[in-house]
Amino acid sequence: MLLQSFSKILQRIMNSRLSCMARATALLNPHQCRSLAGLSASDAVTTLTHQVKTLQMAGRKVSKLFLDIKGGFDNVNPSSICGVLRAKGVNPYLVSWTRSFLSGRSCRLLYQRSPRVFAPVSVGTPQGSPLSPPLFVIYVCRLHCEIPHSLSLSHVGDFGLTFSSASYRRNIQTLQKHYGRLKTRGSRLGVGFSVPKTEPIHWRTNRDRDPISNVPVHLHGSLFTPKSEVRWLGYWFSPSISTTPHFVKRLAKAQAAFVAVKRLSPPGIGLPPFLCHRLASSLLFPILSYGADAFVPTVHMVRKLSVFWHKVQRWTTNCFMSTPTDILAIEACLPPLPLLLSYK
């Protein structure tokens, strides 16, 4: 157990040093997120929405193809990634340590009456290691390519191709062509893309009066129809980039969690108020407000979210239904929802 603890500490130290090297030697593409400190899912979503709106303001039709790398961590080749680190001028000791970390590994399958025999593993990074995500992101950096009037954006294993032109049909043709190039690059690295998780979408503006385009994308020998709603990194996108579908989904999730939590503390009995407050602030509010750092809810949506938040405040304090909401917020030590969202 002590050896495993020291191993995790050492991996975090090497992760920190590799991150510093990645910034200094340009190991990563600028459009890769969640690989270095300060790059999160909200940064990827903000970049995507900004780019789409910028292209729309220029009068162009914008389409995006959402992709997912299949079994990404399991396909990292130690020799290939060490060659990338060496070519970028990374310190030799860090290259040697990475090769030693990824080489000589073994695994076994555990199930009922399994033989419990270890088998050697020549590729892949260990799941759960703090060093695996940055190594994988460096490994797939070569999938990114520069395309005029487009954006190639990724978040670890979630990949996206955005293209704009004068028509959606032209976008589809270009996306199909560049997907073929992307697939070829991926085959050289030993990675592929998941067919069920491939989703296209055509972005529109509220002033767009053209008919909605339903022209499918032909990939993997299958046709993929453009979606009316797409979930990416936990954020829900609609063709008009409206934030309402996202917060409708968050409200439904929070309501489902609230039903389960209320069973722990029915009125008059159950959990004390301070534990109810802890559940409200650490469980219900994060579920309800996820995505508020990149998406701004409409005024109407804020009212609907506030109605649910008032129910949470009332459950926390066990106050009467006639208690004013301003008093509820003070008694429950839970500020009004608009105030909390303004600090996200």
Report, as an integer, the average pLDDT of 300-307: 94
Q: What is the pLDDT of residues 180-192, one digit of tens each?
A: 888 888 888 888 8
For the chain, helix, strand, coil in percent to 5 are: 50, 15, 35
Q: What is the pLDDT of residue 19?
A: 79
Report, as an integer, the average pLDDT of 257-272: 80
Q: Nearest Cα to 145, choosing from 169, 164, 163? A: 163
Average pLDDT value over all residues in the chain = 85
Q: What is the pLDDT of residue 1?
A: 54
Dihedral of alpha carbons 74, 76, 77, 82, sign:
negative
How far apart, in whole angstroms, are the C-alpha atoms of residue 325 and residue 338? 13
DSSP per residue, 212-243: PP-PPEEETTEEEPPPS-EEETTEEE-TT--S
How far apart, in whole angstroms, are the C-alpha atoms of residue 263 and residue 259? 7
Q: What is the pLDDT of residue 35?
A: 66
* Contact by Cβ (8 Å): 254, 288: yes
How far apart, in whole angstroms, are the C-alpha atoms of residue 341 and residue 285? 10
pTM over 0.75: yes
E strand or H helix at 137, and its extent?
Answer: helix 132-139
Q: Does residue 192 sit in helix, strand or coil?
A: strand
Q: What is the pLDDT of residues 49-63, one digit of tens each?
A: 998 999 888 888 999
Q: Nearest Cα to 194, choosing from 341, 322, 75? A: 75
Q: What is the pLDDT of residue 144?
A: 82
Q: Does residue 158 sit in helix, strand or coil?
A: strand
SS3 per residue for 295-318: CCCCHHHHHHHHHHHHHHHHHHHC
Band (291; pLDDT cuts 50, 70, 90): very high
Q: What is the pLDDT of residues 27-77, one digit of tens each?
A: 888 788 776 677 788 888 998 999 899 988 888 899 999 988 887 788 888
**Higher-confidence position of 244 and 160:** 244
Q: What is the pLDDT of residue 81?
A: 87
Between the ranges 78-87, 135-144, 180-189, 246-255, where is the mean pLDDT highest?
A: 246-255
Q: What is the pLDDT of residue 236?
A: 94
Q: What is the pLDDT of residue 29?
A: 80
Report, as an integer, the average pLDDT of 326-334: 85
pLDDT > 90? residue 85: no
| Residue whose structure tokens are 């969690």 | 257
